[in-house]
């Protein structure tokens, strides 16, 4: 009797499971991209609401002019046969495409899709046909996917191409999101008041579906106003393998009224954002960023990596950053300006900062406390700056190609130990005949207000002759100067290789010694300058005067907005009578 009852139970359960899987086609959905299929979807969802189940949505384009609510325990399941980047001219898509119309112009209206406890959305692409990149500022819509006061919602294999607000989860515990992509306009993903370990994996917000250029008004609006990820009150958030491109803020952490966030953020990245990571608040356990990658933008002059500033919270904020790379045209890589913040930077790589060439540091410590250890800094004019209001700072075991350069304005609570020292200066014999390869490692001590090192190219954009391709170059900025070690009172022959653009020319362009023009720059092209000079001190300072021009091109995807002068490639200094001495290398290294 028990065996018979078990067999009957299995049959009944199987029948129940089969009955709980329905298709929107059976409820009249056309999927032709024209007929409003809202009612068919609602009827299909309601048919399995009582006991839970799966509502299948076969491949096609479904026009939905209303809103959907996925009942508790129900999955809305589309077909995912390839990465569902929407092709609007596609007649027979291989994926399930939902066309959203409701709520145009009202960000507070009912969300397009509302998830309830234990409900799921899988395998669909969503786009808004009435949206236009010509609308700047963009027309708002309510959230595309929304859940509030729920638990265990899931979002998997979903594309939200041009939603205004992508995913908003409020007070939704134990949510799980995997393989979400698109280019939400205002906010990509917002988490607020979510407890019991929410998980976000493999989310990619990138300008899918549009031709991106940083100077386009639509892209520029997102780069100034959009936020890819926002985390408010959380209970140890997990976020893994996520990336965003072209937003005002990549990852924002703040107290929005219900408390502060915490969590682990592994292998996250941000490219071409105004601020990659903005930390206003964390709770006392803090946030941990591991294996991150944060890149600046050629499309603006204000990009920063991680910015920590004061928010609403009163708890001491803890921010740990480990094995993370900062590169691209950034103003600064990390800026800490919160008196209750505790910052740790470990095993990170810093390069290509000081975007505006105004001696900005890679790490700017303004207020708070910090431990900076075991990091690698590329060569630049300033690695770390410590402000007057900064608390305790420990800086140890860091590597910098030109020796770790720390500006300490605090004078207290600062421990500097075992960092790479500056290389030994040239001796008197080396000063008699040497070559400075500008644009190659080790040139920084001799330069002021030059842009970053870069490979030698022709001034017209093509490579220079093969003999010069192994060398480097730097462009000058306003206030640029060259500082050359010499023997005071000894006559020198100065030889310089430079590149001059038409925009580099101006009245009085050239290199100045003590206010007097030593080298005149009068024509464009590849130039080789020679002159004699007898310095009065042991440093020959040549100030640079030139015209200013920008290589920015509105038609380029990543315009170069720098203001450039002229470029310098190499300088040779030969003391009188020392022509036969072998030329020493002015570029100094510690290794």
Consecutive sets of 10 residues in the chain, 591 residues long: mean pLDDT of each? 41 46 95 95 96 94 97 95 59 82 95 97 94 94 97 95 95 95 96 92 92 83 96 93 96 91 96 95 93 86 92 78 93 94 96 87 96 93 94 96 91 90 92 95 91 79 53 91 96 95 94 96 93 96 94 64 90 95 88 60
In angstroms, rounded to a whole number, what is the distance separating the alpha carbons of residues 155 and 153?
A: 7
* Secondary structure letter of residue 25 according to DSSP: G
Residues 413 and 392: beta-carbon distance below 8 Å:
yes
Cα–Cα separations (whole angstroms), residue 78 to 39, 93, 240, 494: 17, 12, 24, 72
- Asked whether the beta carbons of 527 and 504 are under 8 A apart, the reply is no
pTM, two decimals, is 0.89
Which segments of 68-186 are extended strands (E)?
Answer: 68-70, 74-78, 96-100, 113-115, 120-127, 145-151, 154-160, 165-173, 176-182
Residue 109 φ then ψ, to 5°: -70, 175
In angstroms, the CA 247 to CA 321 distance is 21
CA-angle at 29, arms to 26 and 30, nearest 5°: 120
As given in the structure block, the two tokens for residue 296 are 């600046």
Q: Write down the pLDDT at residue 441.
A: 87
| CATH numbers and ranges of domains, the chain | 19-210 (2.160.20.10), 214-422 (2.160.20), 430-585 (2.60.120.260)
Residues pairing with 22 in the sheet = 55
CA angle, corner 305, sides to 304 and 309, nearest 5?
80
Q: What is the pLDDT of residue 210?
A: 83
Q: Are 114 and 41 in contact (CB under 8 A)?
A: no
Q: What does the pLDDT read at residue 19?
A: 44
CB-side neighbour CA atoms (13 Å) of 286: 14
The confidence score (pLDDT) of residue 555 equals 55
Q: Tell me the CB-side half-sphere exposure of residue 138, using CA atoms within 13 A.
A: 27
Transcribe 291-310 into DSSP letters: S-EEE--TT-S--EEEEEE-
The pLDDT of residue 466: 55
């Amino acid at each position: 009797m028990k065996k018979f009852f078990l067999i009957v139970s299995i049959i009944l359960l199987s029948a129940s499971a089969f009955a709980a899987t329905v298709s929107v086609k059976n409820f009249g959905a056309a999927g032709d991209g024209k007929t409003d299929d809202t009612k068919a979807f609602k009827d299909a969802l309601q048919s399995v609401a009582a006991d839970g189940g799966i509502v299948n949505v076969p491949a096609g384009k479904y026009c939905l002019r209303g809103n959907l609510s996925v009942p508790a325990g129900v999955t809305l399941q589309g077909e995912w046969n390839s990465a569902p980047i929407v092709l609007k001219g596609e007649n027979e898509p291989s994926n399930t495409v939902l066309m959203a119309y409701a709520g145009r112009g009202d960000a507070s209206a009912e969300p397009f899709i509302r998830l309830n406890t234990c409900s799921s959305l899988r395998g669909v692409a969503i786009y808004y046909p009435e949206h236009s990149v010509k609308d700047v500022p963009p027309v708002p819509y309510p959230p595309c996917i929304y859940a509030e006061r729920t638990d265990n919602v899931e979002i998997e294999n979903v594309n939200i191409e041009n939603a205004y607000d992508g995913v908003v989860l409020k007070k939704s515990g134990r949510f799980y999101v995997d393989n979400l992509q698109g280019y939400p306009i205002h906010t990509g993903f917002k988490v607020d008041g979510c407890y019991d370990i929410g998980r976000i994996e493999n989310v990619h917000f990138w300008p899918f579906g549009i031709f991106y250029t940083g100077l386009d008004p639509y892209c520029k609006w997102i780069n100034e106003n959009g936020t890819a990820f926002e985390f408010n009150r959380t209970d140890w958030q997990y976020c893994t393998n996520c990336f965003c491109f072209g937003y005002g803020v990549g990852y924002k952490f703040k107290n929005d009224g219900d408390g502060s966030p915490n969590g682990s953020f592994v292998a996250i990245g941000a490219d071409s954002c105004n601020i990659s990571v903005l930390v206003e608040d964390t709770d006392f356990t803090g946030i941990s960023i591991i294996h991150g990658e944060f890149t600046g933008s050629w499309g603006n002059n204000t990009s920063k990596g991680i910015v920590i500033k004061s928010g609403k919270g009163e708890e001491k904020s803890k921010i740990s950053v480990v094995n993370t790379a900062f590169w691209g045209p950034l103003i600064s890589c990390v800026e800490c300006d919160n008196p209750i913040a505790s910052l740790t930077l470990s095993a990170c790589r810093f390069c290509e900062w000081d975007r505006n060439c105004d001696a900005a540091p890679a790490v700017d410590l303004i207020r708070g406390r910090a431990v900076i250890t075991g990091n690698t800094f590329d060569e630049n004019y300033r690695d770390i700056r410590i402000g007057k209001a900064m608390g305790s700072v420990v800086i140890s075991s860091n590597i910098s190609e030109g020796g770790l350069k720390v500006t300490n304005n605090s004078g207290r609570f600062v421990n500097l130990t075992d960092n790479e020292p500056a290389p030994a200066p040239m001796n008197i014999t080396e000063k008699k005949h040497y070559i400075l390869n500008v644009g190659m490692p080790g040139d920084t001590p001799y330069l002021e207000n030059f842009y970053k090192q870069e490979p030698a190219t022709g001034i017209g954009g093509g490579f220079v002759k093969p003999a010069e391709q192994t060398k480097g170059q730097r462009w000058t900025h306003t206030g640029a100067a060259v500082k050359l070690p010499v023997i005071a009172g000894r006559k020198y022959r100065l030889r310089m290789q430079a590149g001059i653009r038409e925009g580099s020319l101006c009245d009085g362009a050239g290199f100045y010694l003590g206010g007097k023009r030593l080298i005149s720059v009068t024509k464009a092209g590849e130039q080789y300058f020679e002159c004699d000079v007898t310095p009065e001190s042991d440093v020959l300072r040549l100030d640079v005067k030139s015209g200013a021009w920008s290589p920015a091109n509105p038609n380029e995807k990543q315009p170069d907005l720098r203001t450039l002068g002229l470029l310098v490639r190499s300088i040779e200094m030969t003391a009188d009578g020392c022509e036969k001495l072998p030329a020493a290398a002015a570029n100094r290294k510690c290794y």
